[in-house]
Homo-oligomer: A and B are copies of this chain.
């Protein structure tokens, strides 16, 4: 278990979620084996933590929403399993990705089963039926938004010689869908299942919107900041997929003509992934985009925390604030 946040409260939640994932009932068949492999990778369990903290922040109890905490992890892991197929990423969380270990066919089907299973898990929460139905809606919508973001991501046009590219705004809209959606879904479902008022649900949703964006912005920075041995994924994946990311688009907008050319060449497909990654790193550093991007991500994290003080349970609200802070201060 590798909790994102070192404090006792989040470690306890992560341990409980982890134990529940380990103790999932299994028929012992291949589908359950693959799902177990996918779910028990040493992940941050960030989305379950968001759901539980949101539920507790509005006065709900952890036990009652624990199945939904698993549910958001199912959705997150399903999207990772399918994403790794799409991107051809062989490594995930430091281990072989699911399709490498079990084949593409079963990886597709296991992702599907996790998406389906998440709704069964929500139905297992100890909450009024009306709240369960509301949480089903919230997570169905969050999942659809995530899918919409994935399709939009593939449509992003990298900047090239004489090509403006999709630009930073299109990128941020995509990130709000792709990462923001699941943050919003986890927090809002937590508040709804925890018995929060509509206003409280809106407060955690706004928190999720900004902290999700902060998280994605910082995630894009990790290949330029961190050691692949720590992140558990190759630092060159974005470059290999010719994917324009937040700091890269910022370098293109803010940098010198040489920086722009460097970015355009790296995303043109003519370089090998390592060389492309190095060229992007050079442009991101020399343009000042690296520092700007860190600042931008941290500003989103600050915005995320603005209204948390209005929530009734201060400890849990404090945990949400800590998650926002850690989202932009991490090495994996």
Q: What is the interface of chain A, defined by CB distance below 8 A to chain B?
A: 27, 29-31, 34, 78-79, 82, 85-86, 104-106, 108-113, 115-120, 122-123, 128-130, 132-133, 136-137, 139-141, 143-144, 147-148, 150-152, 154-155
A contact patch SS: helix
B residues within 8 A CB of A108? 82, 85-86, 108
State whether B151 touches A31 (Cβ < 8 A): yes
A284 CB to nearest B CB, Å:
26
Which B residues touch A133, using CB under 8 A? 123, 129, 132-133, 136
Q: Can you identify 15 A-B contacts, CB atoms within 8 angstroms?
A: A27-B148, A86-B108, A106-B154, A109-B150, A110-B147, A112-B115, A113-B148, A116-B143, A116-B144, A119-B136, A123-B133, A123-B136, A129-B132, A133-B133, A136-B136
Question: How many whole Å from A242's CB to the nearest CB in chain B?
Answer: 14
A119 touches which one: B30, B119, B150 (CB < 8 A)? Answer: B119
Question: Taking the nearest CB of chain B, how far is it from the CB of A202, in angstroms?
Answer: 20
Q: Which residue of B lies closest to A102 (CB)?
A: B151
CB closest chain-B residue, reference A106: B151
Indicate if the CB atoms of A122 and B136 lie closer than 8 Å: yes
Contact B112 A29 (CB under 8 A): no
Q: How far, in angstroms, from A85 to B27 measured CA to CA in the complex?
A: 27
In the complex, what residues of B have CB within 8 A of residue A118's CB? 140
* Complex-state Cα separation, A268 to B152, whole angstroms: 43
